[in-house]
Amino acid sequence: MGPGSFLYKLAVYLHVTSAILGFGSVFFMGLYGKAASEKKGKEGHAISEAANKVGEGVATPFIYAVLVTGILMVLFSKGSLKWSALWIWLAIALFVIALGISHGLHRPNLKAMLALSGELAEMGPPPGAGGGAGDGNDAGPPAGGPPPQAIELEARGKKAAIYGSILNLLVLVTLVLMVWKPGAGS
């Protein structure tokens, strides 16, 4: 094996492809969140559902494949990539930290946001906001302000922006490690 072998080149190809498809799919998810908040109601909820399906169903397996194929690259490199290299350990550590943030904070928050968005979509527009049946029986919130779901959704949206930004930053720092390879020697 080694850097010139088919298995190593295949691992590199799969590693880069998985990174593009996985991280690329979720890197701009904040834009979908912004679009969903601007549309509100059933349209906004549909945007949120679509983004969730891409994140959970499409991106996640590719993101996990990045770690697996990275490990395979080291194994197939026949010593040209060393486990002791600083950049490899830092990249793995950042990946694990990102998984912790994603699974422990971000994804549960996004699932709660999707549920809240669904509740709001079912409530319909507030009275007088248009889009109702026009018969005065809109099932919107009372006229005393936004429903509690809207307030919680806004607060969770701010958390999602923070978590997403941190995760994007970790991806960019890891990419710097992979390109410049600090601690790799000459």
Residue 57 lies in a domain: yes
* C-alpha–C-alpha distance, residues 68 and 177, integer Å: 17
pLDDT tens digits along 28-45: 999 999 999 999 899 999
Residue 54: what are its φ and ψ, rounded to 5°?
-65, -45
**pLDDT value, residue 143:** 66
Number of domains forming the structure of the chain: 1
Contact between 101 and 163 under an 8 Å Cβ cutoff? The reply is yes
Residue 55, pLDDT > 70, answer yes
Q: Does residue 43 belong to any structural domain of this protein?
A: yes
In a domain, 161, yes or no: yes
Q: Return the pLDDT at 139.
A: 54
Is 148 a domain residue? yes
Domain membership of residue 131 (yes or no) is: no
In a domain, 170, yes or no: yes
Quick check: is 1 in a domain?
A: no
- Whether the pLDDT of residue 182 is over 70: the answer is yes
Question: pLDDT over 70 for what percent of the chain?
Answer: 90
Distance CA 91, CA 86 (A): 8
Q: Which domain holds residue 113?
A: 6-122+144-180
pLDDT tens profile 132-145: 444 444 555 556 88
pTM greater than 0.75 (yes/no): yes
86-101 and 60-76 helices, crossing angle to 10°: 160
Of 90, 93, 95, which Cα lies nearest the Cα of 22?
A: 95
- Assess if residue 137 is contained within a domain: no
User: Which pLDDT score, from 0 to 100, does residue 135 have?
Assistant: 44
